[in-house]
Structure 1
């Protein structure tokens, strides 16, 4: 009949023990504490059954557990640790999709211990049946013990260092298992890649939003390269050795001052005295490495796996006896914990849970001949108990240390707990019903293995979306925005080349050279540290994206204006000396046909509020409704506005009866004046050599185009009111129809008041539909077409082309200016234009010299006034002071401009240039431009005679 103590309790009767076990191994969400030792008291058969139940419960959950059975062949502490490491690393000890517990520090410590044991055993070969790793260790010890003669110490260090680095390369894998470098790489990939890629994606998206897409791509490349290098580097030996620096902080083994290599040699070469003590210190080191590995596996940091581990690792000792190495292990664990707490070296408590089954009657010593003494259970309890006894009284001198001792013990209790062992007698069963075991804590959802990858994909997708939006909305900085039609609009100092980033339409970089020159000059101005004034140019810096043929994009006008700006800026800054004022130029792109002029005007206005060096805005070359709205908006900022080629008379008219904006100054001759001259010359035989009685006027009927219809109506009034035929068009198809119908009537002349964008279509239809040579008279708008196509126009001879440019180099001929020296702008222009002109095979895209001249005058005008104000007021000029000087009728503003003498009239007439030159030019058969008539004041002195309308005769030329 079995004794009551030998009865094996059923799992139903073990609910209390199981509930306690679950509480011990359940990892709290926060405020982790060391777990006490659980002692299961009872006879061997019963406690072995309980140990199996606890082990099975852990394995069913795939929770980390190691069961050191009574028959486990572990003869020492190192053997216990090997078995515990092996079982805790098994697939059954971790959930699917989770990385296993790894023990790199323990691996290294056990390897060094093996070398030490081989060294102490003498120079013996590896035993028969030894594993490959054991044979390799014996060979290594032989090489370390008998290095080459003459360099013994250095040779030993080199050899040991080589092997340590090789083992450090595989620091994350079980060296006895089948895993290799690919598995190590993937383990790091799971740890680094999701967070790294997500961070890279966020940085790239932020860079795209704050800077530009090129910077975002560069940031992404650098970030991905960094993550890749991190992953690859962590599989290298040198990185693994870095992890072993933990050994250098441990007090258990002596070492020299040469880092971890010295430490390893200290383990390999034990001191000849007290070898047993050295062995105990090494066992302490092994236990400390084991606990540190566990602590790192459970450390809550950026690693998801550490948060997913909700069960502490359990080490179950079955039937401990006095001679079992498990007893020494428990004692060493508590010593290491106490040493770490006392030395303050443990930043986080280790998570190990130890369960030991002990016969309550087992003796504390494994010596049958010894008299009855303490029990084993009391010996274990004494090893883990916290001593808070009062101790012996201290003398009056030693009393000063009592408080330090008291606080140290208090900290020890706070770290280790006041109760370090829990006893359960499994043979005692009072009967009665027990509540069910509390449910186990599940893994947090946020710690799911797929979550980092899902988060990485989500963040990367969101970042790609942001970058895509930025790529769609912004071309470079946030200030350079991509509009719906693909154009890039905004303000630049020349560092952004609109022509190369406008929806892929202008990739020839036609403007890149001149923009680069302006940027370089702006950089010199800023680097000089001298005071400067800033002028903003507002113009159509990109071609219409709908134009597929780059040969007809008509950027000659804006290219010419930018070259004029660059020449004026360089000349002005080169003449500045000492503390004289310098000039900075900003370029604002309003888009083709000034579509986004009002939007960019808002950007200029905001910039002017922050940058008080901005004294004027120039440009506004196209007379469109959008330009008019931009002028009204900028006038509210009290900025002087100087237009280059804008010729619509009512451009600056304000709403109601307010008249013209006081801040607007016009350099171009108004349409009414130009049309009057053109009609006079046509009627009086200066166009084609005969009087014209019949004309067809072609103009753009777009209501947003203020220039074309106004010029057409003004020409009709001046030529033959009520007789001149008007042919509007709204699109190229409309234009072709109008020209074909007009050709049937065989008019004497076409007056083209349309835009240069459609002039090629006009010329082609005229060539096909009007077989007889025709005369075409047009305005300065056509100058940008002429600039790119003058040779073709002269060579074809389909029609004779006359036009009225705002400025012309040919006007500075002796016929018109006599002996007066030509404007120096034109001599500066040629080398600059050649340097900044794109050559595409035999085709050359020349900038418009006409637009270069008026832009040069506009910048020189503002810069000269700003410098005058600067010296007059002895202070940096403001927009208000520059406006006041421009508005003063007594100031001789610019006596010798490239487009003529510039002196503004009153506000009541829109600040028109008084006696603005009006020029009639024609394209000769060899593609040259010839000035045939010139009215108005080109120079201050006498000019050559021309046939001008009444009241507009130029000053008489001096006698020859």
Structure 2
């Protein structure tokens, strides 16, 4: 080991000064958190801790710890809580004390000194857990006595009552009970007994009994009761009757140390109801002087180190030892060479940086900070206090006078508490309803929906409420279809109860719902398709015919809250195992893509009806779509223009400038590529869309399109709301000679609405559609037949929900789930099995749907999927100009494949 006198020459004053500065850093408790000192960059966790400061000094400096004690006692404005214990010099022939005896004897003295009134300036220190463990270890019981458990229980109950009430109060209660009615005497006898037994079973939070059953040492759950575990601890410290043959002494010692440290932790635990904890602005100090290997001192420090390694908890306690050699093994390696006292602060910084690694590795010296004291003479009382300790005053709000004022103010306000409570309850209920879309707390759907702005976001078994101004007729139609699905869901449940053998599952329709006209009409059309498919299932009665319940989900008017819906579905899936997937989706955009990704992570397959962004399938391997891609519609549009308008030499792509709208951005790029391949020159005209919230300038751009050359075609890659404004601009500028307009598939919603379509009858336009609607639901297909019976008023309305083809797409989306359930047969229905069956749809197993043939091949998008080019003229319903792909279900229109169609081999 290092020589005591090694290093620089220091005076006793300088040595004590350095140590007092270190003490100031270690004892000062921060205002927030529990990290001592002022170390720059210190984290709130990971390297938290106070070291075991081991002062290695020679004989001359034996009074060093007593000098430090004097500084602790004389701190300004009051003493630092501390305890001083000096280990006795071992005599000749005296055996070395065991670990349990050494730890127990030291800690009981330290606990008593810390609990002394002199140390309670900042709050009393109590050691309930340590006292219980120490008391149990000092109980003498005969292990062979069958009544030992009852004896210990009686002693515990008497100890508990005496500790909490005192003997004087117990006598008063006994005297009062003697003159009280019988039922009072019964209560006085039974209530303490019941309360005590509840404590023993760990049912009372914060009690020492509960803690003892949950601490990590000696397997407290063996044999399974508190009394059983307590019996194992008895006699551990009784002279001549040790528990050593029964229990591991190292574990017993650790239990004692952990109980002691836990009491200190609890005293310093911050919480709003523990005001006294805030008064503690310094950490207590324990001075252990004269420690040696053969007097138990090293064993005490080693046990503390091991417990800290085991628990990883922050112990608000400063422990300083004094010894002639380096604890805990009296060995000094190069790595553990004590740092000079002059470098105490630097040594502390170095130790703190290594603590996290050393403690996780459970190093036997992880918490030790050895410091070498120069060979100077230190005598208690002879070292002038050049450096002094200071104690920060407690916060003003924690002081007794302030608390008294607060209590008086609280008492003064009692008269108004009743009124305010009722008012707050009413306000809270109104706030709850407002935050949860008008639903009461007892409504199960209130926990799966919440209002965000003007959107009711989440999943519901009932209709989705909408907020904000809306056209009354459009809103009525939308709500009618929602109510229809809710009614059919009840019929589905009833049918399942009648025949539990029928395959039964739940599918969630998730879309962008809002009060905008185009949003309302598109969701009405899509829900009509879902309702029609669900109604077809209800018409069947065979035991192998599936039944599907449809929940309604809203991800916000622009799908901006899709992640919220996905997380709601994660919780719904945990309690409702019938949920097998999601259908719908709306708006090919980044929020929609993110929603699909999270739903895939949840484990739910997603079948989109109308999405067409080329990159959408990469969002999740559990994603499928019914519609073709933007690239396919761009190919069809370009070839149609080249065939139908051979004189056209260029294309003007009018597109949204909103990069978040991946549909418009992707379609723009695809159109530019495919029209360029057909030899047409390409130029672009961006506009600011309605969705950005600053007002659309599409009308201004529409007027500018009047300058488009006769040899150019205008392709619109955007949303219906902006297309309407574009048409307004064209009408204002050149309605007598408009440019040739061709639009993407999203304009199908505009074309299906009689009112919108008829606003500018003098301006013809063409558009690409993913399905062919039928005026008045007149087509001879199963979906249209069902619609005529199910919602006859919709088929006759001005905004025919089937005319834009979206009903057919959602009809097919739900059909995929039906088909997968049928294919499973006796295999249990689950999201994974459903996804597998959907993946197999292709080739000989391709499906013939309402929107065309669905053949996924080896992918997630239908191969060679049907789409058509339609024309609107004179404000009349659209007519088919050309089509590509197979559409075997319609014979009322000419849907022969155009010779120029792009074809992907199946």
Which structure has the larger Rg? Answer: 1
TM-score (norm 1): 0.47
TM-score (norm 2): 0.49
